[in-house]
Structure formats: C-alpha cells, structure tokens
Homo-oligomer: A and B are copies of this chain.
C-alpha cells in the first residue's frame, strides 16, 4: 500500500538516462522502428534494444511487428507531459543558478556531485 513508491521509482529510474530521454523525444514525434531510431540516435543497435527492453518492462513504450521491423511507440502521452514539466523545472533552476552566479560572482551550492560534468 506504500510500495507504490517502488513502482514509481522504477519508472523514474527508467527515465533517468539521457539515451532513454532521447528515445522518448523521438517517439514523441510518432512511432518508429528500431533501425531508424538507432540511425537517428547514432547508437549501437543492441544497446538501443536494451534500453527499449527496459522501457517496455516498465510500461513506457510498446512494440508492434510490421513485417520484419518492429515499430515502437509511447504508451502514455502523460510521460511526455511529465518530462515537459521536468524540463521547466530545470530551466528555472538553471536561470536561478545563472542569476546567483552573476550577482554573487561564485557558485552558490553543490560543490560535490557535479551534476553536469558526468561521464
């Protein structure tokens, strides 16, 4: 009755990856097969398939056979809306950071966990 958090965390973890966010970005513009997606994203096909498998298992996307290709599509449009909200949050945060940096002349918070400079 409370492990709804676990499930929600699974979905959010499935979204917490730049590659998968890019997948959502492309699928938000309409269904697409794996090959085309791999081509657009410049990503290895097995790697893409792994991401798609994960997103399938969490109920974010689903695939349907079309001849020998498989067309993937987003299941729930609210995923895109939620991502849009998140994006707004980020833009506001960046603006806030830029503002604080401009007025104080230094970075206000988060010395550890660089956040942006990863990988």
Contacts and interface: CB of A to CB of B under 8 A. Distances in A.
A98 interface: no
Contacts of A70: none
Contacts of A83: 8
A30 interface: no
Given A5-B18, A5-B22, A18-B3, A11 B86 contact: yes
Nearest to A15: B12
A15 B102 CA distance: 29
Contacts of A89: 11, 59, 76, 78-79, 82
Contacts of A118: 6, 10
Q: Which 3 A-B pairs have the closest CB atoms?
A: A13-B16, A57-B113, A12-B16
